[in-house]
Amino acid sequence: MLRMRRNLAVVAGLSASLLALGACSTTAEAPEADSTGDSAPVENTATYWEGVLTEAQGQTVDWFMWGGDDRLNAYINEYVAEEAAKYGVTLNQVNADASDVVNKILGEKQAGNVDDGSVDLVWINGENFATGKQADLWLCGWAQSLPNAEFVDWESDAIKFDFGTPVDDCEAPWNQAMSVITFDSSKVSSEDFSSVSAMVEWINANPGQFTYAAPPDFNGSMTVRRLFYEAVGGYDRLLGEFDQATYDELAPQAWEFLNGIEENLWRGGATYPQAIDEVEKLYASGEISAYISYNAGRSGLLVADGVYPESTRSTTFGDGMIGNTNYVAIPLNSPASAGAQVVANILQSPEAQLRKADPSVLGYYPAIEMGRTEFLAEYEALPVPESVLPFTQQKKNANPELNAAWLGAIEKGWIANVLQK
């Protein structure tokens, strides 16, 4: 079967439709390689990969991703795209919000487009990944077969579950995000963020200096969850499947907590910013002096660019911040799924991960175990800007993300009980 598909791909060479057919057979075959789990014979993976490389030749991969970070865009378009070109793959970054991309793929599916979709690769997060899974949009059975998957700790829950949704070999990790509190040390001390209650005290004593973007904004939603954990006495009861009774019992405490600090938020809590970019602008212009966001390395870049004040620092609550893993997924109807796998593999390569971790490039944290690569020493020697916390310190007491159903319930609950009240 393998050889047949490969021959097919070679013969088809130039025909886009047959390439797509080849991609389909990849889907059918990959679980074989996968079913043997982590001990998959190298040979099997190697032949699988050879087939992918052959198919990928000449493909153009449209990668839909959040494009709100110029440095990340430069990394993708300059470094990753160049690496992809070495495999004959043209990488084309398309700026889009993940929920819009999922809607786009859904629309294509509704229109009966099964093999010529416009999206080949998408940077996805738990909630939208779960939406796509709900509608069976993703190509599965490839992520663990990537050659660089050996550097990924597929045993870890932080990788195996994307916001509580089992990854099931339907997406590949390429980045890790830890949330941090970014604050202006000329206006507020890190002591004020030693715990959530210390922060609440600071908020109440300094009205208007803190806010978060209204969920479902990704970062605002995370901030609400972190405060939710605090208000209900920890996240233990929120893990696992969504449970309405537990939600009904706990949620009112959280709304009381969030409404309690509301009047001392930016604009007296009368409104909230709509997205994290707006929060960042408020911070840059000095309207607020602290906020919580994923993407801990970003403040270093913004300070270097002169957007943020020099006195910007990062910190974490004593009992930890929320962390998650960023993935890329491939829609089932992608006509360039082989090329997309090549790109996913490049993203996971030790060289790419090291480069991405360099604060002068991006300062994003590796999704792979750098200890499994030959670059551990270089990685550990990377300089960390003053405004950024070393990753080990961020990771301390890391809090989990919740199942997508919990997320949805908390977001809807926040809208009804905090925003609309």
Partner 1 sequence: MSFRSSSVAEPAPYGAGSAPGSAIQRSARLPGEWPDGLKVFALLSPALFLIVILFLGGFAFGFLQSLGLLSLVGDGSLSFSAYGRMFEDPAVRASLPLTLRISIISTVLSAILAVASALLIRSTKRGQKFLVTIFQLNIPIPHIVGAIAMMLLLQQSGYFSRIAFALGLVSSPAEFIPLVADEFGVGIIAHYMWKEVPFIGVVVLAALQSGVKDYEEVARSLGASSWNRFRFIILPFIAPSVSSTSIIAFAFTFGSYEIPFLLGRPFPAALPVVAVQSYRDSDLLSRPEAMATSVAITIFISILVYLYMRIADRYTGGVR
DSSP category for residue 367: S
Nearest approach, Cβ of residue 268 and partner 1 (Å) = 10
Q: Which is nearer to partner 1, 190 or 417 (CB)?
A: 417
Query: Min. distance of Cβ 311 from partner 1 in angstroms?
Result: 18
Q: Are 327 and 123 in contact (CB under 8 A)?
A: yes
- The alpha carbon torsion through 361, 366, 368, 373 (nearest 10 deg) reads 50
State how far the Cα of 40 lies from the Cα of 272, in Å rounded to an integer. 49
Cis omega before residue 216 (within 30°)?
yes
Q: How far is the CB of 168 from partner 1 (least distance, A)?
A: 18
Considering the complex, state which of residue 134 and residue 204 has its C-beta at the smaller distance from partner 1.
Answer: 134
Query: Which DSSP category does 235 fall into?
Result: S
Smallest distance from partner 1 to CB 119, Å: 10
For partner 1, give the closer residue by CB, 208 or 385: 208
Q: How far is the CB of 370 from partner 1 (least distance, A)?
A: 32
Residue closer to partner 1 (CB basis): 98 or 370: 98
DSSP letter string, 381-400: T----TTS--HHHHHTTPBP
Rounded to whole angstroms, the Cα distance separating 118 from 103 reads: 12
Cα→Cα distances 233→226, 227, 258, Å:
11, 10, 14
CA distance 245 to 249: 6
**Residue recorded with tokens 């663990």:** 144
Name every residue whose Cβ is closer than 8 Å to that of residue 282 and which is 6 or more positions away in sequence: 211, 266, 273, 288, 291
Interface with partner 1 (CB under 8 A): 97, 99-100, 102-104, 106-107, 109-110, 127-128, 130-131, 134-135, 208, 214, 216, 267, 270-274, 281-282, 285-287, 404, 407-408, 415-416, 419-420
* Minimum separation from the CB atom of position 402 to partner 1 (A): 13
The residue (of 103 and 246) whose beta carbon lies closer to partner 1 is 103
Q: What single string gives the DSSP state of each residue in 138-149? A: B--S-GGGSGGG
**54 versus 92: smaller Cβ distance to partner 1:** 92
Minimum gap (Å) between residue 215 Cβ and partner 1: 9
| Secondary element (H or E) of residue 166 | strand 165-166
Nearer to partner 1, 338 or 405 (CB): 405
Q: Which is closer to partner 1, CB of 214 or CB of 361?
A: 214
Which residue is listed with tokens 């750098």? 370
User: What is the 8-class DSSP label of residue 215?
Assistant: T
Radius of gyration (C-alpha) of the chain in whole angstroms: 22
Closer CB to partner 1, residue 170 or residue 407? 407
Give the nearest distance from C-beta 233 to partner 1 in angstroms: 27
Write down the least CB distance from residue 106 to partner 1, Å.
Answer: 6
User: Which distant-in-sequence residues (6+ apart) come within 8 Å of 258 by Cβ?
Assistant: 224, 227, 228, 231, 414, 418
